[in-house]
A = this chain, B = another copy of it.
Amino acid sequence: LPPDVDPISVKLLTLARDLQRRKARERHQLFVAEGVRTVESLLASALPVRGLLVTPDARRAPRVAALCDVAETGQVPVHEISDADLQSAADTENPQGVLAIAAIPETTLRVPAAGVSRFLVLDALQDPGNVGTVVRTAAALGVTATICLPGTVDVWNAKVVRGAMGALFSHPVITMDWDRCSSALRDAGVTCWAGDLGGVPLDALDRGTLPERLALVVSNEGAGLSPHLEGSVAKRVAIPMAPGTESLNVAVATGILLHALRPVHASAPAGGATAV
């Protein structure tokens, strides 16, 4: 190594590059967060952060400087690397000169034994930006946990992490297959429904009869519900659409379905609880 190169930054950089691959993330149980806002959310979360890599240019910006101060106050090492090195480890379009390596949180499906709850199941969703937005939506709408079925992009992919806008740092996301998922939900008395263009229109459902404990399966807009799930969901529900319209973006559809199927007796905001 040349004398001015910091060996720990080289080690972190090599690790960050390695973590671009799913297998490496699974082996190390670590992921990379990119961009100012995402790294800020990460540092504000409970997840252990291994280190920050910043470019000298980025660090001159007050917001990044503040972020580095927060990290160092919390004993998180901050190392400077060149623009080219940061780009070589980054997976999102514009990492804004800052990335962090942190621990993937523990990922067991915990279903509360009783009480009103909602779960979200992602059936082979492949677009990282969509999956990030879906996870952000699930967290915002009070979903207890999101389950990723096989064929779904790894949520610890840097593009998903960024799109989730911090939601992944507190909202539980579990990867498991349909057999394990459906039996865990069944054992806990959670009913499974799926969003599907050919399902019962939302307008035909009576909110008063919604299950207290419900998991919603959402699929890739183009592909529809995976055939092996069709027989094992209790009901398929559809968002009414204008004639001639093909589909909605999957994150938009998930938001509409989760809101329409929200618990009837959830902690209603002040002002009343008349159904909309």
Contact = CB atoms under 8 A, between A and B. Distances in A.
Interface of A: 129, 133, 136-137, 139-142, 165-166, 170, 200-207, 238-242, 244-249, 251-256, 259-262, 266, 268-276
A270 B198 CA distance: 12
Given A255-B253, A256-B259, A140 B274 contact: no
Contacts of A170: 244
A248 B203 contact: no
Given A249-B133, A255-B253, A256-B259, A141 B241 contact: yes
B276 A205 contact: yes
A191 to B, nearest CB: 16
A254 B270 CA distance: 22
Is chain A's interface secondary structure helix, strand, loop, or mixed overall? Answer: loop
Nearest to A202: B276
A203 B274 contact: yes
A254 B255 CA distance: 9
Given A249-B133, A255-B252, A274 B204 contact: yes
Contacts of A247: 140
A138 B274 CA distance: 25
Contact of A241 (B140, B165, B253): B140
A266 B202 CA distance: 13
B276 A260 contact: yes
A128 to B, nearest CB: 13
A269 B141 contact: no
B276 A242 contact: no
A275 B253 CA distance: 18
